Amino acid sequence: MTKDFQARLSANAAAIEQVLSQILENSPIAGETARPDRLMAAMRHGALDGGKRMRPFLLIESATLLGYSGPGVLQAACALELVHCYSLIHDDLPAMDDDDLRRGKPTVHKLFDEATAILAGDSLLSLAFAVMAEPGVHSDGSVRAELVRMLAIAAGPGGMAGGQMLDLSAEAAKVPLREPEIRQLQAMKTGALIQFACEAGAVIAGASTDDRKILAEFGARLGFLFQVTDDILDAESDTQTLGKAAGKDAARNKATLVTAVGIDRAKALRDAEVTLAVQVLESFGERAQILRDALRFACERQH
């Protein structure tokens, strides 16, 4: 990864953190009656100090690639991150993945309680759409409506939530899922929001249909790389390095590419996907260097 990538990743993460902290203040916004202190504390625990902020970074950098920037892009990126953080809170619940640690800290349900964690996740998800619909995101209401529509689809039954359902069902399946089925599951559970991030950057920038399709395909391939790398890390790393429990995929009979095809084959699929993803970006030339660096980040990270 280039120094420019690291600098921009850090700068965007700091900007996202600042705006999220403002969004998650205790004071109610217009239309709200009150914000309960305990609920807001749980929401902040699940959403702040959130690491690299890769999904909002991808939205911002996809728009930047197409020559578009401004505070609305940052606000849209924060809406996306609110959805991602909601999903992590709910994924960690005992009824889902039952995790005690997230980014090296107690998960929301461990620090607070399960009911509060559920409500915190629900609230982050609801708030995300209020943030995305704000006029500050874009002056054109049809653009904001399209972003809301896309985000709802990426998060819903045909996207992230549906992928989580397939993931849970696979744990109890008598016949292990095959590679194509696992790819579909992962494209929904992990890939949908990453694909949204890249395509949303094109939408907010007013990109051509062709450029929008290119960035959507790139996002789908990058989503695959993030998930297969997670699968490999879970098999090879340790809890301290990951910041969450390691080895849980095998212990819970999770449907992963590592369990389906073996770790060597999973690594080969990862490497092949990198090549394909780089090819997708060819038409953008050097302008897409930051997105190419994101591919390396996805594959080389340790947690």
Domain count, the chain: 1
Radius of gyration of the chain (CA): 19
Here the contacts of 292-296 (C-beta below 8 Å, separation 24 or greater) are 293/1, 293/2, 293/4, 293/5, 294/5, 294/54, 294/57, 294/58, 294/61, 294/222, 295/222, 295/225, 296/1
Q: What is the mean pLDDT of residues 66-75?
A: 96
Q: Return d(Cα 147, Cα 152) in angstroms, integer.
A: 9
Query: Residue 155 is part of a domain; what is its CATH number?
Result: 1.10.600.10
Which two tokens mark 66?
């197409």
Here the contacts of 43-46 (C-beta below 8 Å, separation 24 or greater) are 43/120, 43/123, 43/124, 45/105, 45/108, 45/111, 45/112, 45/120, 46/85, 46/86, 46/88, 46/89, 46/108, 46/117, 46/120, 46/121, 46/124
Q: Return d(Cα 303, Cα 301) in angstroms, integer.
A: 6
Host domain of residue 11: 3-300
Instruction: Classify strands 105-106 and 101-102 as parallel, antiparallel or unpaired.
Output: antiparallel
Q: Decide if 248 contacts 234 (C-beta within 8 A).
A: yes
Which two tokens mark 15?
């900007």
The tens digit of pLDDT for each residue in 152-201 reads 999 999 999 999 999 999 988 888 899 999 999 999 999 999 999 999 99
With 70 as the cut, is the pLDDT of residue 7 above it?
A: yes
With 70 as the cut, is the pLDDT of residue 298 above it?
A: yes
Which helix H or strand E contains 59, and what residues bound it?
Answer: helix 54-65
Enter the pTM of the model.
0.93
Helices (H), 112-246: 114-133, 141-155, 160-171, 179-186, 192-204, 209-236, 239-242
Amino acid at 14: A
Q: Could you give the 3-state DSSP secondary structure of residue 119?
A: helix
The tens digit of pLDDT for each residue in 22-68 reads 999 999 999 999 999 999 999 999 999 978 999 999 999 999 999 99
Closest by Cα among 13, 27, 135, 138 to 81:
13
With 70 as the cut, is the pLDDT of residue 226 above it?
A: yes
Q: Decide if 35 contacts 24 (C-beta within 8 A).
A: no
> Residue 276 CA to chain centroid, in angstroms?
21
Which single residue is written with the structure tokens 């092949």?
Answer: 272
Low-confidence winner among 3-7, 16-20, 25-29, 240-244 (lowest mean pLDDT): 240-244
